[in-house]
Amino acid sequence: MAGPNLEVFKFGIYVFFPVMMMLHYGNPDWYAEHVKPYRERFWPPEETTNVR
CA 18 to the chain's CA centroid: 10
Verdict on whether the full-model pTM lies above 0.75? no
pLDDT at 17 (0 to 100): 96
Tens of pLDDT, residues 1-52: 678 999 999 999 999 999 999 999 899 999 999 888 888 888 888 888 887 6
pLDDT at 32 (0 to 100): 92
- Say whether 13 sits in a helix, a strand or coil: helix
Query: What phi-psi label fits residue 3: left (phi over 0), alpha (psi between -120 and 50 degrees) or beta?
Result: left
